[in-house]
């Protein structure tokens, strides 16, 4: 079964997913945050997902960031709506910075590197890759 990673934001939410064998992490989509639960409901009906990993916003010193309460409410709602799916959180510190560096190393044009939706998707991939390595899956 797949693992789905979420980079939750107030405006947009980036999504990444593994293949069914959990070998490859790929960007899935960027969704307007008000539409995220409808999107997840449809996706989970089409694809078997064992775990949803949500990026946990932390400050550099490890304390919760100002958006942590918003993310905690999101996680609580996911648990309520999808009780059969394991929900986990994972440190998302520096993912946006790493995503921008990856985009630069990929040779993307400046205009493409400003695409916040793309940054959100790549950030979700980074959360997923780090989570998989931490859990010893990757």
Contact 22, 2 (CB under 8 A): yes
pLDDT > 70? residue 111: no
Q: What is the largest CA-CA distance in the chain?
A: 42
Give kind and range of the element (H or E) at residue 89. strand 86-91
Q: Taking the model in full, what pTM does it have?
A: 0.85
Which tokens hold the place of 47?
Answer: 């694809």
CB within 8 Å of 59: residues ≥ 6 apart? 65, 93
Tell the residue number behind the tokens 């990673």, with chain if given: 5
Over residues 6-49, the pLDDT tens digits come to: 999 999 999 999 999 998 999 999 999 999 999 999 999 999 99
């Amino acid at each position: 079964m797949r693992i789905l990673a979420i980079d939750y934001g107030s405006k947009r939410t980036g999504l990444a997913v593994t293949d069914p064998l959990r070998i490859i992490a790929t960007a899935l989509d960027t969704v307007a945050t008000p539409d995220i639960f409808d999107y997840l409901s449809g996706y989970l009906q089409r694809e078997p997902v064992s775990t949803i990993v949500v990026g946990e916003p932390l400050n550099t010193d490890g304390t919760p960031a100002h958006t942590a309460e918003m993310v905690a409410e999101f996680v609580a709602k996911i648990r309520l709506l999808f009780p059969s799916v394991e929900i986990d959180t994972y440190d998302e510190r520096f993912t946006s910075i790493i995503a921008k560096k990856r985009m630069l190393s990929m040779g993307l044009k400046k205009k493409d590197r400003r695409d916040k939706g793309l940054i959100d998707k790549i950030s979700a991939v980074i959360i997923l890759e780090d989570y998989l390595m931490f859990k010893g899956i990757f």
